[in-house]
Amino acid sequence: MQSGDSWLKLKKAEKLLEEAEKDLEVGCFNKAVSASYFAVRLAAEAMLKGVITTKDDKIANAVGRVLGSDVREEIMWIYEERKKADHRPFFFDEKRASLVFGKASEVFEKIKEEISSLEE
């Protein structure tokens, strides 16, 4: 069983993915991208218990050491998309936001599987 903080982070990550999906349905594409990224980040933090950093690349690197460089690259791509959604004069359309959401969902599932395997 996960520690309290890690369990809460994973639950929050799941909720953020649910909200991202709802944002896609109603056309809030920038919000969907942002929520998708933060779902992955919180899941990564849950997996990396005790790793203390606020730097997104450090979190991606740590996850990559466990799950592989392809996952690290996916996290960094999602992060770059999130920066566009939150900080750049860029507007997401449904197709691109759905692509980010799909990648984030895949990464989330990989992290969740790793967490489950660590608990066994």
In this predicted structure, what is the pLDDT of residue 119? 77
Mean pLDDT for 48-60 is 82
Question: Each residue of 73-111: pLDDT tens digit?
Answer: 999 999 999 999 999 999 999 999 999 999 999 999 999
In this predicted structure, what is the pLDDT of residue 1? 40
Question: Each residue of 4-50: pLDDT tens digit?
Answer: 788 899 999 999 999 999 999 999 999 999 999 999 999 999 999 86
Distance (Å) of CA 112 to CA 26, 83, 109: 27, 24, 5
The alpha-carbon radius of gyration of the chain (Å, integer) is 14
Contacts by residues 112-120 (CB-CB < 8 Å, ≥ 24 positions apart): 112/10, 112/43, 114/47, 114/66, 114/67, 115/2, 115/6, 115/10, 115/43, 115/46, 115/47, 118/47, 119/1, 119/2
Inter-residue contact 47 to 63 (CB < 8 Å): yes
Contacts by residues 51-56 (CB-CB < 8 Å, ≥ 24 positions apart): none
Whether the pTM exceeds 0.85: the reply is yes
Q: Is the pLDDT of residue 67 over 50?
A: yes
